[in-house]
A = this chain, B = another copy of it.
Amino acid sequence: MDMHELTRSLHAKNDSKIVMLVADGLGGLPQAPGGLTELETAKTPNLDALAARGVQGGSIPVKPGIAPGSGPGHLGLFGYDPLAYVIGRGALEATGIGFELGPKDVAIRGNFCTLGPDGKITDRRAGRISSEESAPLAVKLREVKIPGIEVFVEPVKEHRFVVVLRGEGLGGDVHDTDPQAVGVPPLKPKAANAASEKTAAAAAEFVAQANKLLAGQPKANGLTLRGFSPKPALPSFEEVYGLKAAAIAVYPMYKGLARLVGMDIVGKAQTLDEQMKVLEENWSKYDFFFIHFKYTDSTGEDGNFAAKVKKTEELDAAVPRITALNPTVLIVTGDHSTPSFLKSHSWHPVPTLLVSDCCRFDNLTEFSERASRTGGLGQFEAKYLMLLALSNAGRMGKYGA
């Protein structure tokens, strides 16, 4: 059973405020047996003080042993079963740069590549072209005209860009044109079903015109298209939880994910300090606040243990700004673990702390992987966290009589 069937009928409104502070990639690993994780190493007096009046557990992003990307990681935290709701890669890329997809759109990831005189790929990433070189080329591709279809092209980074085709009857199931190899030409766009034939034809026309526009470029004289996908259909926070929700994020990806579940994107914060200011300014206007902190993930991805410790300490320093607002429920968690030991997202449960007056305090004295292992929330799938948030906020009625 979809939990939203329950929350739709059981949610209740009140004046409570829920804050979900997401430290991206929060969970970590020790470097060796007996060692400490990044979070265990960091000095986090504010989070530890919260631990003493909260309850901890380990959030399993998807299922045991599954490392998620940012999309499924956040869907889980937002209470959308990440195995039931899938955001296509094109849609996620568009979301990541803040492109707001509409119902008639198909989003596609584009890669510049280098083609030899025979039309075969010699470099799948166009010689690792810089963003400075590639962005004007992506903009140039806006000159492509396809009758009856609006074409959007947006630069992303290095060899990557986004194409959005907007029109009637554009199915989203078209195979990638990237052959995942050099020495062969890009594949033709091929529809996986009849409803996507028009999309495949439009994509082929896009490629033909684009190749002409790129002719003569030393590196990026060709392109491949991947991850064709329509706008994902996600019910909104308002509809499933009765929550007016705000997202306070710095990076476009997380703003985009929040927008997909109907959150308002508030403020233009570029720093954690500015994010706290936006939170304070908007405190009276929303029921739910999603605050995204990126740097625990990016330092983990870099394999920089010390930097992740430092970023965790920076996060800790911001906590008093939140508690000063006296939220009814404060949750501190991550969308997944990003241990610097692995330099990648991982499957390990994420230390998760929930503070409310009725959370059944587990009286732990630090917020960490080792503490959360013995916490009152146990290990739980992330998709249940919003149910706990609503209940702790007094916003969920009883199931059954």
* A residues lining the B interface (CB < 8 Å): 1, 3, 6, 10, 29-30, 33-35, 37, 52-53, 58, 62-73, 82-84, 86-87, 89, 92-93, 339, 341-342, 344-349, 358, 360-363, 369-370, 373-380, 384, 386-392, 396-401
Contact across chains for A64 and B380 when beta carbons are under 8 A apart = yes
Contact across chains for A66 and B347 when beta carbons are under 8 A apart = no
A87 touches which of B71, B373, B400 (Cβ 8 Å): B400
Contact across chains for A65 and B401 when beta carbons are under 8 A apart = no
Contact across chains for B363 and A401 when beta carbons are under 8 A apart = no
Chain B positions within 8 Å of A345 at CB level? 398
Chain B positions within 8 Å of A71 at CB level? 400-401
Within the complex, the shortest CB–CB distance from A47 to chain B, in Å, comes to 15
A378 touches which of B58, B376, B398, B399 (Cβ 8 Å): B58
Counting every copy of the chain, the complex holds 2
Chain B positions within 8 Å of A3 at CB level? 63
Given A71-B401, A399-B62, A400-B87, answer yes or no on A29-B378 (Cβ-Cβ < 8 Å): no
Chain B positions within 8 Å of A35 at CB level? 361
Contact across chains for B53 and A400 when beta carbons are under 8 A apart = no
A363 touches which of B33, B339, B389 (Cβ 8 Å): B33
Given A1-B83, A64-B387, A376-B373, answer yes or no on A401-B358 (Cβ-Cβ < 8 Å): no
A64 touches which of B1, B349, B388 (Cβ 8 Å): B388
Given A339-B358, A347-B388, A373-B374, answer yes or no on A399-B58 (Cβ-Cβ < 8 Å): no
Chain B positions within 8 Å of A37 at CB level? 360
Contact across chains for B347 and A391 when beta carbons are under 8 A apart = yes
A33 touches which of B52, B339, B373, B397 (Cβ 8 Å): B52
Contact across chains for A29 and B358 when beta carbons are under 8 A apart = yes
Contact across chains for B374 and A358 when beta carbons are under 8 A apart = no
Q: In the complex the two chains form, what is the Cα distance from A341 to B387 in whole Å?
A: 20
Within the complex, the shortest CB–CB distance from A209 to chain B, in Å, comes to 28
Given A378-B349, A384-B64, answer yes or no on A34-B361 (Cβ-Cβ < 8 Å): yes
Chain B positions within 8 Å of A86 at CB level? 400
| 14 A-B contact pairs sorted by A residue (CB < 8 Å) | A33-B361, A34-B361, A35-B361, A64-B377, A64-B380, A65-B384, A65-B387, A65-B388, A68-B399, A69-B399, A339-B358, A348-B360, A369-B376, A373-B374
Q: Which residue on chain B has the smallest CB distance to residue A61?
A: B399
Q: Which 8 A/B pairs are nearest by Cβ-Cβ distance?
A: A65-B387, A378-B379, A64-B384, A65-B388, A69-B400, A72-B400, A33-B53, A69-B401
Q: In the complex the two chains form, what is the Cα distance from A262 to B386 in whole Å?
A: 36
